[in-house]
Amino acid sequence: DGGITQSPKYLFRKEGQNVTLSCEQNLNHDAMYWYRQDPGQGLRLIYYSQIVNDFQKGDIAEGYSVSREKKESFPLTVTSAQKNPTAFYLCASSPPGQRLNTGELFFGEGSRLTVL
């Protein structure tokens, strides 16, 4: 079945360690996004990519890095420079902005990162 797969679902990390969250999609979507969600808050945009080998910073990119070497994959690295990394991370993708598409975002099930 087509969809977005995020892994791991739960992750624990010690302070000072980098960690990479995986996001894979088989929907043939061009655009992919990473959001962060803190308890009781809405989603905040970290990074997004509209095409392979290109990506842009979102509102809270500091302390994070991404790559987009393949259309299907958009991994997010949470670096030790991120001061408060404990959060719920959501990956999404969307098809090209064409009239035949709704322009909707398809989300994965999320990865919950806890820093000990």
- What residues make contact with another protein under the rule CB under 8 A? 4, 30-31, 33, 35, 40-45, 48, 50, 58, 88, 90, 92, 94, 96-97, 102-110, 112
User: Which residue lies nearer to another protein by CB, 75 or 105?
Assistant: 105
Name the minimum Å distance from CB 34 to another protein: 10
Conformational region of residue 16, where left means phi above 0, alpha means psi within -120 to 50, and beta covers everything else? left
Question: How far apart, in whole angstroms, are the C-alpha atoms of residue 18 and residue 98?
Answer: 38
Name the minimum Å distance from CB 77 to another protein: 19
User: Which residue lies nearer to another protein by CB, 58 or 75?
Assistant: 58
